[in-house]
Each structure stands twice: as C-alpha cells, then as structure tokens.
Amino acid sequence: MGKLIKRIRKIISPYYRYVEMRFKIICYNLRRQRIISDIKGRKKVRVAFFVVNLSMWRCDSLFRLMLDHPRYEPFIVPMPRPMFNQDAEKQEQIRLIDYCMRMNYPYIPGYDYDLCSFNSYDEIKPDIVFFCQPYNDAFPAHKIEAFWKRCLFYYVPYCILVEKSAVMTDTLYTNICQNVFLENDILKDVLSPLMTNGGSNILVSGYLSAEKLTAYEESDMDVWKNNDPGFKRIIWAPHHSILKKDILNYSLFLQMADVMLEIARKYQDTVQFAFKPHPGLKPKLYDMEGWGRQRTDEYYSAWEQMPNTVLIEGSYESLFRSSDAMIHDCSSFSVEYLLTGKPVLFLTKADHIDYLNELGVLCFNMHYKANSADEICSFIEESVLKGHDPMKAERDIFVKDKLMPFPTGTAAQRIIAAIDSQLKTV
C-alpha cells in the first residue's frame, strides 16, 4: 500500500504543482493593479535586488542608474539558499557584503549571522523586488509569497537561457513578473511558448552586461599574477552540473579537474590560467563522496598557489576583458564570451546539443569543441599561442546580426524606461 501511495503521489505531483501555480498567478494578478496604484503614489520607490552570489549579479549597470535616479532607492539583499551547503552559502554572503562595501552600494543582509535571524519584509520593506533566480527555492522569509501582497516583481535572468528545459522559464516568478527582460528576439520567440502566460510580460532589452564585458580598462590586468605581455591568458570555467540527478548534467569537471591542473603546469612558461568555477560547484563538491570539504578546498587552493594560475570566485567582467581565450562548459558563458570576439572552446559531451534551444545551438556552433586533454592542448597551441582562429569572422558576424538587437542605448536605460512608464503618475 505504501509503494502504491508513493507512486500515485509521483504521478499527480506535477499536475498539482501546475494547478497550484495557476491559482497563485490568478491571486497575484487580482492584486496587481492595487499594488501598482500604491507605488505610483509614492515619491520614493524602494527597489530590492535579492542576490545569492556575486557571480550571478548581472544588474550592476541598472543598479548604478537607479542610484542616480531621483525616484528610486535601490539596495542589495544578500540571500542564502536552503538547498546548498550552508558553510559555502555563508562564504558567498560575506563575499557579497564585501563587494557592496567596496562599491558603496546600500545593502540589507538577508540573514544576520551574528543574530542568527532573517531579515524579512518588515525589515526590508521593498516596493519592487528583483530576484536573481526564478525558482522560489528560498527560506520562508525570502519566498515570493512573503512579498507579493505589496510588491511588484521584475526579472533579469541570472544566466542567458540556452537550454530547452522550461524549469527556469515557466515558474511562478516569471509568470507574475511585471516584466521579464531578455537579451534578444531569438530568446523571446523560444521562451514565450513555454510560459503559462504565453510570454506576455517578456520585454527585449538587450544585454545588460554587454558594455562591461567588452569595454577594456587598464585595471583589468590586476586579476592576473603576471602582466608580462609575452604570456597568454586563458579562463577555465567549469559548470556545476556534475550530478546525475542534475537537470542539465553536462559538465565535464569531474573528468577534467586533474587534467586541467596538468595542462596548467605544462604551459607554465607561456600561459596564465584563471580557474573560474560556477558558484554552485563548490557546495556540490563539499557534499560529494570522494571530494568533501578538504579535497575541494585543497583543489581550489592549488589554483591560487601555482605561479601561473589564479582562482576567481566573484565577478567575471574584468576577467573576460583581459583574457585571450576561454575553455568552459557553462551555458550562459557560451553566449556571453562570444561578445568579446576571442576564441572559445567548449568541453562537450556527445549529447550536449540535445539539451539546447535554438539560441543555444547557434552559440554552441560558434565554439571549438573538445573532450580530451589532446584536443584542449591543440586549441591552446593553435588558436591561442599561434593565433590561428578560423572561426573569428563567423563569430563576429553572428554577434552583430543575432545577439545585439539594439544599435544605440543600453539595456539598463531601456529597463528603467519600462519601469518608469508603468509607474508614472498622470
């Protein structure tokens, strides 16, 4: 009987979740106009950006514009997540708070580690909420339902959606947002049919971080140990999808972890390497049999200690701008790094393309491919050290024609204009 009940629950669970989500969408939409009217009447509008880690913070240019805007009062809420290793989550929150302090950005900690308490709606009191992730996998104090009686929601995806899966697309959050801001029309056409609301709230705004990925600054070289122009600089950016139960499950980190260390040693006289892991990788390794905290920390430290390597766990814009190439298996990086115009190698499994939507396939085809040490070394020697990059012209045309929909203005300006138009008083 127990097995039968479990089987029945498994069968009906997706339908129950769908019905529950539809009900919540209807409930929120009944409140929406009252919330908008309340916010329209305020001279100052408080805007909370809930951020889980620095690598997923994509709204810097928008945040700066809001700081300078006479009506908006933006602030960052570092937000721990319940489903990850809490020691790793604490490290991420500390890193975020340090960043806010360096940038002189207003912030309210989502969790006070000294008092062991959450800051909830009563302490934060936002009018507008930007969550950096759409899943609603949060502690109760930071779930959508804790804010939806009084707040409007907007969403800038923390990554560029290149997979077929609707898990990141058709959620309660994406369906109740005033706007979901996407990078280009390809994504809008791909994702709209996947959403319960048909994508009626999608607005194409362009790449929010495009300028930060391409506008080189002299200080960018500070992320590297050696500024000798004779060295090439390569990023290795592994994804966190290392578990069989992961929705994507396409990272080759476990196979390539030791291989990449050996490659870094092999090219220590000609190449500097930056290890830029996805922020979700470390907490998974902490809890994984065969890795654990000690091995994981030792592995990360190795990338800090070698003379020609660095470990980068925070923002990546300076890293992209100052690098010469990248090796990776990260979904959104397959789009973003193309904007730099530099050669890029994807560490791929045979079935990787099966996971991808139309945009993902187009971007994946702009990459060199490898799944062995010899193929990685061939890319380094030919495309990086010798500068033989036969795909460059094709990549440049693709970026101009497909990825950058607006010839003028910035995504941040278009996002603020959209919010202004919805909240202006007549």
Burial of 62 (0-12, 13-18, 19+ CB in 10 A): buried
Q: Which DSSP state fits 356?
A: B
Query: Residue 4: what pLDDT?
Result: 45
Q: pTM of the predicted model, to two decimals?
A: 0.81
Tally of CB atoms within 10 A around 287: 15
Contacts of 73 (CB under 8 A, 6+ apart): 44, 45, 46, 47, 106
Query: Residue 82: what pLDDT?
Result: 87
Tally of CB atoms within 10 A around 307: 11
Asked: is 11-206+407-423 a CATH 1.10.1660.10 domain? The reply is: no
Q: Which DSSP state fits 278?
A: -
Place of tokens 């008083």: 425
Q: Is residue 250 within 8 Å of 346, Cβ to Cβ?
A: no
Burial of 82 (0-12, 13-18, 19+ CB in 10 A): exposed
Tally of CB atoms within 10 A around 180: 27
Query: Residue 403: what pLDDT?
Result: 86
Do the domains 212-403 and 11-206+407-423 match in fold?
yes
Q: How far apart are CA 56 and CA 50, in angstroms?
A: 11
Q: How far apart are CA 131 and CA 419, in angstroms?
A: 16
Query: Residue 8: what pLDDT?
Result: 47
215 phi, psi to nearest 5 deg: -85, 90
Q: How far apart are CA 354 and CA 194, in angstroms?
A: 17
Q: Where are the domains of the chain?
A: 11-206+407-423, 212-403
Q: Which of 279, 336, 346, 268 is nearest to 52 (CA)?
A: 279
Per-residue model confidence as pLDDT tens for the chain (426 residues): 455 445 645 555 666 777 888 999 999 999 999 999 999 989 999 999 999 988 889 899 999 999 999 999 999 999 998 887 888 888 889 999 999 999 999 999 999 988 889 999 999 999 999 999 898 989 999 999 999 999 999 999 888 888 887 677 899 999 999 999 998 899 999 999 999 999 999 999 998 877 777 776 777 788 899 888 889 999 999 998 877 776 666 788 999 999 999 999 999 999 999 999 998 899 999 999 999 999 999 999 999 999 999 999 878 888 999 999 999 998 889 999 999 999 999 998 777 788 888 999 999 999 999 999 999 999 999 999 999 999 999 999 999 888 887 878 889 999 999 999 999 865
Q: How far apart are CA 179 and CA 162, in angstroms?
A: 19
Q: In the CATH scheme, what is the code of domain 212-403?
A: 3.40.50.12580
Place of tokens 């779930």: 143
Could you give the count of Cα atoms lying within 13 Å of 259 in the half-sphere of its Cβ? 17
Q: How far is CA 389 from CA 230, 273, 344, 348, in A?
A: 19, 19, 10, 19
Amino acid at 396: D
Q: Is residue 356 within 8 Å of 340, Cβ to Cβ?
A: no
Tally of CB atoms within 10 A around 229: 7
Burial of 188 (0-12, 13-18, 19+ CB in 10 A): middle
36 phi, psi to nearest 5 deg: -60, -45
* 3-class secondary structure per residue, 174-202: HHHCCEEEECCHHHHHHHHHHCCCCCCCE
Query: Residue 241: what pLDDT?
Result: 81
Long-range CB contacts (within 8 A, 24+) of 81-84:
81/52, 81/137, 81/138, 81/139, 82/137, 82/138, 82/139, 83/137, 84/280, 84/283
Q: How far apart are CA 118 and CA 141, in angstroms?
A: 7
Tally of CB atoms within 10 A around 90: 13
Q: What interhelical angle do 253-266 and 292-305 show, nearest 10?
A: 30
